[in-house]
Amino acid sequence: MAQKVQGTEDLYGGYMRAWQHMQAVAHELFDTYGFDMIETPALEQIDTFVHGIGESTDVVRKEMFRVVSGALFERLLEEGTEKGLKPRQRLAMRPEGTAGVVRAVVENNLVPQGSTPAKLWYAESMFRGERPQKGRLRQFHQIGLEWLGAPDPAADAECIIILMELYRRLGFDMSKLRLYINSMGDSNCRPAYRKKVKQFIYDHKDEMCEDCLERAEINPLRSFDCKNEHCQQIMQSAPLVTDSLCEECAQHYAQVKAYLDAAGIEYVEDPTLVRGLDYYTRTVFEVEVLDAGVGAIGGGGRYDGLVELEGGKPTPGIGFAVGFERVALALATQGVDMEGAEPTCVYVACAAPEQRSAVFEATLTLRDAGLRVEADYQGRSLKSQFKQADKLNALVCVIIGADEVANNTYTLRDMNTHEQVSIAQADLVDEVIELMYSAEFEDDVEL
Ligand code: HAM
């Protein structure tokens, strides 16, 4: 039997409804802040990610799925090297959304200099070749938001407020959420800080792992994310970025916190929070759920240098992304069901093959009225059509037999009470809707 790739999932039924629900909640919320939806290709040139996310990050070095067409693959096998490939032939599946959105903003000139910021959001699959485990997939879904052209610390605070409001609307017990924030400085103050961390790693080189020694050379801040427990312990006493911020960054950070305080958002300052992607400057943040054991359910930050890295003019940016699968897992631990009720419908039952065209017409009329309508397409007996109607959550059955056709009537069956009434053909839509609403009221079933 064919099998799905490890670390990927099929989304259908209730799980699909949960994903759609999360998108609908995000859509309604983001709309009030003036964000429009964007979809960028799942395939981008590798350089888009390497420039933006950073060559030394785990995401780029170890986790990115790299793609070549079948014809090129043959050539690579023959030549034994990818050196002959042109940049536009070197592709990757997007491991995250920010770099692609920024590439699109630059390519389509969505923030002409001095004009209104671009405010964009997306709901897309991301691909990372990680070792699959609970809440860690190779294809997962993110809802993300990117705000290009807004340098004001109020934008940082608003992003965090939107993120926390999204969790609240999804039904989280907010007392169980921990929002961690930090400032990572900018191109002014970070180079000196990096040097300090590099020196710190060298001072502890006998105790740290090989990877960290390599990181000290290319990007020492990545050692804060090292999975080795001993390295983590040592990094606890490494110099803190918040002690090395320049005046402008310190002020920006103080203002972000003042706005969060004013909005009543609780946060924990974590000066070791560096995030796994290199494009961040100044504010970074991440959210975890206590006792859920799924890791971060969302994170983001400011990336004032990324547009330039993608070939555009200097344009500040900030955003966040939320992982659907982790949100679903974390909500389940809190007893919150994102799936909602299964959809209900009207079932049009056919007593005998002679009435098939009358059934066909009735289904069209009811669907025109916006109802979810099912019928039999397998030539079943009336009894098994009722069974099928029950399985499909039908609230009402419209029964059409020889008498109904002869008298220009329909028989309506309330699927809860099994009571039946005869109605005039012309009243079909009104009568069905009335019966469906009263059935909903009786049972509190979502329509
Ligand atoms: P990220 O922290 O790498 O940030 O991912 C955001 C969220 O995606 C995580 O908090 C987590 O919920 C989910 N996630 C990440 N990896 C996996 C995985 N392997 N399996 C399941 N869920 C996962 C970003 O991607 C940035 N682009 C966020 C951002 C937007 N920063 C600025 N703008």
pLDDT tens for residues 264-296? 999 999 999 999 899 999 999 999 999 999 999
Residue 244 pLDDT? 95
pLDDT bucket at 227, cuts 50 / 70 / 90: confident
List where CATH 3.30.930.10 sits in the chain: 13-189+245-333
* Mean pLDDT for the stretch of residues 131-142: 96
The residue whose CA has the least distance to atom 20 of ligand 1 is 136
Average pLDDT over residues 358-382: 97
Query: What distance in angstroms lies between residue 96's CA and the mean position of ligand 1's atoms?
Result: 7
- Supply the CATH classification number for the domain 13-189+245-333: 3.30.930.10
CA of 277 to the centre of ligand 1 (A): 10
The pLDDT of 57-66, averaged and rounded, is 92
Q: For the chain, give every residue range classified as CATH 3.40.50.800.
A: 345-436
User: Using a 6 Å cutoff on CB, does residue 52 contact ligand 1?
Assistant: no
Q: Which atom of ligand 1 is nearest to the CA of 303?
A: 32
The pLDDT assigned to 446 comes to 54
Question: Looking at the domain that runs over 345-436, which CATH code has it been given?
Answer: 3.40.50.800
Measured by CA distance, the residue closest to atom 8 of ligand 1 is: 323
Assess contact for 259 and 296: CB atoms under 8 A.
no
In this prediction, residues 176-191 reach a mean pLDDT of: 96
Q: What is the 3-state secondary structure (H, E, C) of the chain?
A: CCCCCCCCCCCCHHHHHHHHHHHHHHHHHHHHCCCEECCCCCEEEHHHHHHHHCCCCHHHHHHCCEECCHHHHHHHHHHCCCCCCCHHHCEEECCCCHHHHHHHHHHCCCCCCCCCCEEEEEEEEEECCCCCECCECCEEEEEEEEEECCCCHHHHHHHHHHHHHHHHHHCCCHHHEEEEEEECCCCCCHHHHHHHHHHHHHHCCCCCCHHHHHHHHHCHHHHHHCCCHHHHHHHCCCCCHHHCCCHHHHHHHHHHHHHHHHCCCCCEECCCCCCCCCCCEEEEEEEEECCCCCCCCEEEEECCCHHHHCCCCCCCEEEEEEEHHHHHHHHHHCCCCCCCCCCCEEEEEECCHHHHHHHHHHHHHHHHCCCCEEECCCCCCHHHHHHHHHHCCEEEEEEECHHHHHHCEEEEEECCCCCEEEEEHHHHHHHHHHHHHHHHHHHCCCC
Atom of ligand 1 nearest to the CA of 137: 20
The CA 97 to ligand 1 mean position distance, Å, reads 9
Share of the chain above pLDDT 70, in %: 98
Ligand 1 in contact with 327 (CB < 6 A)? no
- CA 83 to chain centroid: 35
Q: What is the pLDDT of residue 437?
A: 86
For residue 321, the CA-to-ligand 1 centroid distance in Å is 6
The mean pLDDT of the chain is 95
For residue range 74-127, what is the model confidence (pLDDT) as tens digits?
999 999 998 889 989 999 999 999 999 999 999 999 998 778 899 999 999 999
Mean pLDDT confidence for 32-47? 97
pLDDT over 60 at 397, yes or no: yes
The response to whether residue 128 sits with its C-beta less than 6 Å from ligand 1 reads yes
Q: Is 142 in the pocket of ligand 1 (CB under 6 A)?
A: yes
447 has a pLDDT exceeding 80: no
